[in-house]
Amino acid sequence: MKRLVNYELAKNLLPFAFCLLPFFIFAIMKKISQYIFNFLAFILMLSFLRCANVVTPSGGPKDTIPPVVLQSLPENQSTNFQDKEIHITFDEYVVLNNPNSNIFISPPLENKPEYKLNGKSLIFKFKESLKPDVTYSINFGEAIKDLHEGNIFKDYSFVFSTGENIDTLTLEGKLLQAVDHKPSSDFYVMLYYNENDSVNIDSLPYLTKPYYATKSDKDGKFKFSGLKENDYLIFALKDENSNMKFDLPNESVAFLDSLVNPIHDAQFVIHNDSLTKDSVKHEVKKIEPLTLYTFLQEDTIQKLLKKEVPEEGLLRFVFNRPAQNVKIEVQEILPDTFSIFPTYSMNYDTINWYFTPNKDSLLLAINYDTLINDTSLLSLKPRKVTGRKGKTENISKSLNITTNISGGKLKPEHDLILTFKEPVTNVVMRDTTWYFIDKDTIINDLHFEMVDSFGLKYKLDKTFEPSKSYKIIIPDSVFYSFKGVTNDTTEFSFKVPASSDFGNIFVKVEVPENVPQIIIELLDEKDKFLEKQIITSTTKVEFKHLSPKKYKLRAILDNDANGRWSPGDYGKKQLPEAVHYHKDVFDVKANWDIDLEETWSF
């Protein structure tokens, strides 16, 4: 296949034969005059230059065929294997591509075997005794490719048994990330069965290597073959230290809460309607592949990750878990001029203390059970903020205001929300506030209402009509923060588009009896989170005033009712909270409602 025929070979060697002709001429003309000799020498030199321009022989189209196995010793699918080596011979020279990563052996070995190339043969040498009466499978992945073109001999498997028979049962499935259902690639997928009744089978992933193992591919798919009939614990691991044990907190895992059984590739079901032979019916039953959802367990041990003064008048404590039960106490008598205003993040894992910046340090004690016992004198001087060129950046001394206006527009039926970086504790309205509706002007008619617990968000007490333009001027010194910082004169101009510029999605969602609440999330086409609603009973969920484009819906079965997706916990045999994507992608158009008749149930 890869050799030139004799005609092609002769045709390509013909120019080299002509290159030898000048030597014969040179020998004959030795005795002629010097003048003719020099002339011929010159011609000879030109001939050599011509001959040095070697052209690659034309060999036809580029080779795209991967290597082919000609023979192996022992043969693939052999039984009663007792040797230490396997020889596999190919039809061409091959090279090995990262064999330690690409070649995978199941059941796993304690010692990595030795791989060696000898001519066109691959020699596979074991460095330990193999288990008796076990079927071994060697998957070469993308480890074998030809020498010249790099064509990969992909997913070649060599199977043999140390016993009388080859085990033929299989098990397949896929791994998906629990939170977004994207494929989980390069995970070990492992099977365990309990050979020792004194050890709980659920403990085996912590203690020992699996009995069988394979790896998930780029699509998250995996397949076992050559399995014995047994009940297995299945467990998937992103092995960060390459020991095939779940022993690191940063290793993602997946598991099922029941044992699994391997099957034959073609699963047959027998129906016996009577005792007569003719009444026995055979049919192929399609077995759905397993689906396991991967997740990274939350660290259950409370830790103080950081305590810092990121800016003047702000002391921040960051924990790895919600910190409602952590005690933070001042261990000194404070002057009357020093005050603290505490706030916390939505998950309560970050606690902010806003304080009057008139003190250099603070003696604090932070305690939680026996895990955190931190008493220290903390400087209240903020860290220096430097720019790209190493220069200290100037921190604004005024109270900045941001809003929910986007692109100069505020959606219909939405309040105008003002957001502040630090808590606002006092609002002093001035006589110079301005409120413009199209061409109408209203003076001194602005009223603001706090909408959160800390004074970080306020709304303007106004209803905005569609298809109208608005302009609001807030004079300086209206909003005062806890630290006494106030705003500069601020102006907002925006338009409220007509409702017909938007579309709406309506979907009825059924809440299962055993689920306290469901989080319904609206996503864009690229799975970016946009907004959410939480329901506790079967409800018609509405997402209104959506800009024309494509959207997705995602539902989280919030079993712990904490308002967010929670991962699983293998130690507690707790699976991650189930996530479901709606089967449809919603193409929202202007002035159009998508009202689904079918109830979304789980």
CATH 2.60.40 is held by the domain 304-379: yes
Cα angle, residue 559 at apex, residues 556 and 561 outer, rounded to 5°: 90
The 10s digit of each residue's pLDDT in 285-335 is 456 799 999 999 998 889 999 999 999 999 999 999 999 999 999 999 999
Residue 14 pLDDT level (bands cut at 50, 70, 90): very low
How far, CA to CA in Å, does 360 sit from each of 56, 378, 433?
80, 9, 39
Q: What mean pLDDT value characterizes the chain? A: 86
CB-based contact 299:320 (threshold 8 Å) = yes
Given this model, what pLDDT does residue 491 score? 94
The pLDDT of residue 286? 53
Pick the CATH number of 501-595 from 2.40.128, 1.20.120, 3.40.50, 2.60.40: 2.60.40
Residue 20 identity (one-letter amino acid): L
Q: Mean pLDDT, to the nearest integer, of 232-243?
A: 95
Q: Could you tell me which residue, 390 or 377, shows the higher pLDDT? A: 377
| Residue-level pLDDT at 154 | 87
By mean pLDDT, which of 8-22, 394-408, 439-453 is the weakest?
Answer: 8-22
What is the CATH class of 401-497? mainly beta
What pLDDT, on the 0 to 100 scale, is given for residue 49?
Answer: 45
How crowded is residue 192: how many other Cβ atoms within 10 Å of its Cβ?
A: 23
365, 368, 369, 375 alpha-carbon torsion, rounded to 10°: -20
pLDDT value for 264: 81
The count of other CB atoms within 10 Å of the CB of residue 124 is 20
What pLDDT digit, counting tens, does each position of 52-71 carry? 444 445 556 778 899 999 99
CATH 2.60.40.1220 fits 69-161, yes or no: yes
Say which CATH class 169-270+288-294 falls into: mainly beta
pLDDT for res 126 = 95
State the angle between helix axes of 34-52 and 6-28 in degrees (0 to 180), rounded to the nearest 10: 160
Spatial distance between the Cα atoms of 572 and 570, rounded to a whole number of angstroms? 5
**Mean pLDDT of the region 413-424:** 96
How much is the pLDDT for 284? Answer: 42
Model pLDDT, residue 45? 55
pLDDT bucket at 199, cuts 50 / 70 / 90: confident
Give the pLDDT score at 396: 64
Model confidence over 499-523: pLDDT tens digits?
A: 999 999 999 999 999 999 999 999 9
Q: In whole angstroms, what is the distance from residue 149 CA to residue 385 CA?
A: 54
As to burial, measured by CB atoms within 10 angstroms (0-12 exposed, 13-18 middle, 19+ buried), residue 113 is: buried
What is the structure's pLDDT at 392? Answer: 52
